[in-house]
Amino acid sequence: MSSLHTETAAPALTPIQWVICIIAAIGFLFDSYELLMLPLLVRPALADLLGVAPNSLEVNRWVGYLQFVPAIPAGIFGLLGGYLTDLLGRRRVLVWSILLYAGSAVAAGFSTSVGWLLFWRCCTFVGICVEFVAAVAWLSEIFTQPKQRERILGYTQAFGSIGGISAAAGYYLVVTYGDALPAIRGGHEAWRYMLISGVIPALPLIVIRPFLPESTMWQEKKLAGTLKRPSFAALFAPAYRRTTLVTTVMMALAFAIGFGTIQQMPRIVPGLAEVQVLSRTAQEQTVSGVGTFQELGGLTGRLLLAYLAAIVVGRRHLLWLFQIPGLVVVPVVFLLTPTFGLAMAQWGVFLAGLTTIGQFSFWGNYLPRVYPTYLRGTGESFATNVGGRMIGTTAALVTTSLVAYMPPGPVPVRLAYAAALVGTTACVLGFLVSFWLPEPKHAELPD
């Protein structure tokens, strides 16, 4: 299934390159922190804003909206951001995207209704989608030695899972100690503090990133006047059509597993027998603990991908190392968790996170290798935003809608079965479509 490269020694990183890696890692951490706090806080937030029980069908319905609706403007503006990344430069777009989602994160914490919460989450999601595409293009072009680039992309993206762990830890802290913090709108709701905390990791990025260098590859072509104008139509030219279609579909299916299945676990856990008897604070602490297992699994998957990316020659073979175990793990975990309880939820979501989040890191390594400089940001953005954000996240709405058609029982149990159905379908389709995934022609980035 794999073979080894004969590796030439990569040049040692310069101090400025170390700073670039650190800042990129913080950016990926912040992206995940912002995204993965929502599954933790959405149940109590909606219960407070709607004035209903946390496990009600009304909360379940709005969860689907909050997980899916922001993906529409995020996908549209994320796609535009990829185009602007190719047109205006990687660094400039990075800075503005960070400012957008840092400000909206604070505003979301002061939401007075579900509508305002939804609006500000849309703004946050837009910033994240633009930032990720610009960051991957920026990194891949600064580090030109193939194996060094593979490892740097892999290990910096691994900090996305550190962001998930940070979100789980942060939620535990605000749930436990929120009463000691200053009141917001006359109360001490933990979900408000959690949303506002999203500005903290952005502060060093806002200060440092404007002083970092632009991508040399992009800047030289821009100054020489040889940089072609990016075009969405070019993605469907004969040379790139198959790549664009297959990566878009596969990104959609990977995101479907994440949003339609794994991100539902924080609402499944409170319905488990040993968790139902706990106080509300203890329930939310338990949810945070399960979230930590999920993100530790995701971190393990990202680190494995970073290590294997420079060893396994075939990109399709590399992806199968995560897809094939996922075909078994995802259905088993979500079908059996209501029966086997908290231990199954913890260790099962660890394995599900490993197989799924490892696939997300795969795309960050793969996509820069299949598009030329003038299309790199646009191509990455199309697969990530149209495929992943706009199409893939509809799985969250599908899952929450299917709850009403599952066998009779408590809402969290029916949610687990719906998540298993959606996740299994996405895993099977993703594996089948992978047989059409083109192999990059060269280890070096296309010019």
DSSP string, 265-301: HHHHGGGSHHHHTS-HHHHHHHHHHHHHHHHHHHHHH
Q: Stretch 223-244: mean pLDDT, rounded?
A: 79
Q: Stretch 303-331: mean pLDDT, rounded?
A: 90
Instruction: List the one residue out of 279, 392, 297, 401 whose CA is nearest residue 345.
Output: 297
**CB 328, CB 417: distance < 8 Å:** no
CATH number for the domain whose boundaries are 15-436:
1.20.1250.20
Q: Stretch 155-179: mean pLDDT, rounded?
A: 86
Q: Stretch 230-236: mean pLDDT, rounded?
A: 80
> pLDDT at position 310, please?
75
Across 38-52, 75-89, 310-324, 426-440, the highest mean pLDDT is recorded for 426-440
Residue 149 has pLDDT above 80, yes or no: no
Q: Which one is predicted more confidently, 209 or 309? A: 309
Looking at residue 389, the DSSP 8-state letter turns out to be I
Q: Which one is predicted more confidently, 200 or 353? A: 353
Non-local (6+) Cβ contacts of 220 within 8 A are: none
Q: Predicted confidence band at 1 (pLDDT cuts at 50, 70, 90)? A: very low
Q: Stretch 350-377: mean pLDDT, rounded?
A: 86
> pLDDT at position 18, please?
85
Q: Predicted confidence band at 242 (pLDDT cuts at 50, 70, 90)? A: very high
- Ramachandran class of 143: left when φ > 0, alpha when ψ lies in -120 to 50, beta otherwise: beta
Residue 82 has pLDDT above 70, yes or no: no
Which of the residue ranges 119-123, 365-369, 398-402 would you say has the lowest mean pLDDT? 365-369
Q: Which one is predicted more confidently, 129 or 294? A: 294
User: What pTM, to 2 d.p., does this model score?
Assistant: 0.75
| Average confidence score pLDDT of the chain | 85
Structure tokens at 164: 């998930």
